[in-house]
Amino acid sequence: MKSKNKDHPFKNHKMPLPMKLYFGGVSASFKILEAVSPTLAGRLALRLFMQPPSFGIPRREHKWRNSAQLSHLTIRDRKISLRSWGNKNHPTVLLSHGWGGRCTQLQAFIQPLLDANYRVIGFDAPGHGDSEGKFSNMLDVASIIAEIAKTETSNNTFDAIIGHSFGTGTALLALDKFKVNANKVVLIAYFADIHFVTNLFGQLFNLKASTLKAMEQRALSSLSKTYDISWDWESISPTETVKSLTAELLLVHDRDDHEVPYSQAKLLQQVVPNAKTITTTGLGHRKILMKKDVIKSVVAFIHP
């Protein structure tokens, strides 16, 4: 029988002791709170769900952080860091990073796109990189992409968007519900079902189903007041948001991705059978962003 932990990104390898102690302590706290009040447990779960982790910035990204034209957008009282490279009059490609990342996480695509006469724009989501804020979520980031489209493009249209992991879901959500347009879309290490994400979170902290349900209900009631759109959890799943997509689509995924398993890739591919696909092996969730063959194929898709 297949191990339940085999495809869990935090349980399929040896976890560092400090991380193990943190997750164990939070899980124990949830057990106590769940016994007292599932509603309060749901509120705490939502805060944790929307709080991105913070990681150090690898040396390979410093060159691109330092060479970028840095600006900021103020959105809901937070300064959002925006970096751009290249000629402002050239077609624009947006980089949409993953959870816990930052725009220069996709740095390997910048020079090839500049060589193909594109302008490249990247932003750090709230609570990520140089942007202000402590919490973030898909609706929040999708609305920020919409603001960037208004200020940095003509007719709210990017020539292309490249998204990675969490950034694939936010890119599709911006295109579907926030009136952003793109001629081409590239999704790398993408997820298909939003409940895959919430269930993974629940497994991480050993949450009861009632707590996850309370978390989702809390998100619906609180976030609906913030964003001027109609939404529910199913409607923000990529399997739903991709259905309105008119742009050319390229799907890139690795069979050995243990953070977003290949089963998620196949699920989305079934919804958009005409999309172009690239499947790799042995690269996992992040090395795929630095593989020269992948970068070359992505740039060739954007600029044939």
The stretch 225-233 carries a mean pLDDT of: 87
The stretch 98-117 carries a mean pLDDT of: 97
The stretch 216-226 carries a mean pLDDT of: 89
For residue 303, give Cα distances in angstroms to 114, 115, 152, 184: 11, 11, 20, 10
Q: What pLDDT was estimated at residue 106?
A: 98
**CATH code of 125's domain:** 3.40.50.1820
- pLDDT tens sequence across 35-50: 778 889 999 999 999 9
Other CB atoms within a 10 A radius of the CB of residue 21 amount to: 11
Distance CA 304, CA 301 (A): 6
What total number of domains does the chain contain? Answer: 1
Choice among 111-115, 117-121, 216-220 with the minimum mean pLDDT: 216-220
Question: Is 38 inside a domain boundary?
Answer: no
Structural domain boundaries enclosing 161: 60-192+233-302
- pLDDT tens sequence across 24-38: 677 777 787 787 788
Question: Is 255 inside a domain boundary?
Answer: yes
Question: Is 67 inside a domain boundary?
Answer: yes
3-state secondary structure of 121: strand
Q: What pLDDT was estimated at residue 103?
A: 97
Closest residue by Cα to residue 9 from 206, 192, 194, 204: 204
Q: What pLDDT was estimated at residue 1?
A: 35
- pLDDT tens sequence across 166-219: 999 999 999 999 999 999 999 999 999 999 999 999 998 899 999 999 999 999
Distance CA 80, CA 154 (A): 20
pTM: 0.92
Question: Is 77 inside a domain boundary?
Answer: yes
- Tell me if 251 sits within 8 A of 242, measured CB to CB: no
Question: Is 47 inside a domain boundary?
Answer: no
3-state secondary structure of 271: helix
For residue 41, give Cα distances in angstroms to 20, 209, 294: 21, 11, 42
Question: Is 263 inside a domain boundary?
Answer: yes
Phi then psi for 181, rounded to 5 degrees? Answer: -120, 155
Other CB atoms within a 10 A radius of the CB of residue 211 amount to: 25
Answer whether residue 76 shows pLDDT above 50.
yes
Question: Is 210 inside a domain boundary?
Answer: no
Question: Where are the extended beta strands (E) located within the chain?
Answer: 69-75, 78-85, 92-96, 119-123, 157-164, 181-188, 248-254, 276-280
Structure tokens, 217: 């209900």
Closest residue by Cα to residue 23 from 251, 261, 204: 204
- pLDDT tens sequence across 262-288: 999 999 999 999 999 999 999 999 999
Residues 6+ apart with CB under 8 A from 300: none
